Amino acid sequence: MAFAFGPDAQEKMGETHAFLAVQGGEIVLERYAEGRDQSTTFPSWSKAKSITQALIGVLVRDGRIDIHAPANVPEWQGDNDPRRAITLDQLLRMSSGLKFAEDYVDAGVSDVIEMLFGAGAEDVAAYAAARELEHEPDTVWNYSSGTSNIIARLAGAALGHSGEAFKDWMFEVLLTPIGMRSAQPKFDKGGTFIGSSFCYATARDFARFGLLYLRDGVWDGTRLLPAGWVDYARTPTTTPPEEPMGYGAHWWLGMAGPDSFSANGYEGQFTVCVPSLDLVMVRHGKSEAGPKGDAVRAWLSDMADCFLT
């Protein structure tokens, strides 16, 4: 672990700001870069997608939403609109068929940058819902932050809440029960949780979220997520051959062994669950995509091997 925090790591894997390992429900390893500690809140970036998936799970548990029914997206309700057949399940598995360019370095067309910081920033879900259908639903996998924000708005509509009321509900049903009190979810001006990208929290609190999934959605004997929801999250979705990792439903698969699943965020934010080792690992930092990002994922896989029991 020392290498990741040392000066020689910068060239190979970028900066590591925090690393935390929980095994058997106990913190067994924890380290922070200078100027950061257990009270520091870190960006989630796309780790927020997995939190969004958990919120949908709560709504499924309460009978408020059906993931296999066509998603009730207002922009898609025209009689001849082929998008009206898209289901919430297809959105969760990134298989909706919607056109969306997930490019974090704008080299011409970047829907995610335009949605989060440009013309779509005030209503992220509306921006994403306006994308045209490029493929028949459930035939092509395309990772898209836009779909996550459509999902977040669907959650608000099913609940009948937005903005502060939705935030209060998030804490009531998920964040407070698992002790994730440092969480700072962000909302657009329309009151939609920006569930693709923005929920800050401490490394320990991200570990709590991972532990909830490692424990099949049960916390201190109370079931927060419906039975089978975690298995659904890690059931493989067909991805293209060039995608090095597997994907389930708003969770990535296989980073640290065949049974592992993870919440992954831009620039190397990770919460990794390894059921066979009863292990959760959290890493935060700043690592560019490409070789440095690959090196971070390989390092996390190697770190998991250190906890073999």
Say what the pLDDT of residue 3 is.
86
What confidence category does residue 183 fall into, taking pLDDT thresholds of 50, 70 and 90?
very high
Residue 106 clears pLDDT 80, i.e. is over it: no
CB-side neighbour CA atoms (13 Å) of 304: 29
Nearest alpha-carbon partner for 174 in 230, 225, 226, 228: 225
**Domain of 142?**
2-305
Tens digits of residue pLDDT in 136-148 = 999 999 999 999 9
pLDDT, tens only, 21-61: 999 999 999 999 999 999 999 999 999 999 999 999 999 99
Q: What is the mean pLDDT of residues 82-102?
A: 97
47 exposed, middle or buried (CB, 10 Å; 0-12, 13-18, 19+)? buried
Name the residue with higher pLDDT: 48 or 290: 48
Q: Which CATH number is 89's domain given?
A: 3.40.710.10
Contact between 281 and 270 (Cβ < 8 Å):
yes
Q: How many domains does the chain have?
A: 1
The answer to whether residue 97 scores a pLDDT higher than 80 is: yes
What is the pLDDT at residue 148? Answer: 98
Cβ 98 vs Cβ 241: under 8 Å? no
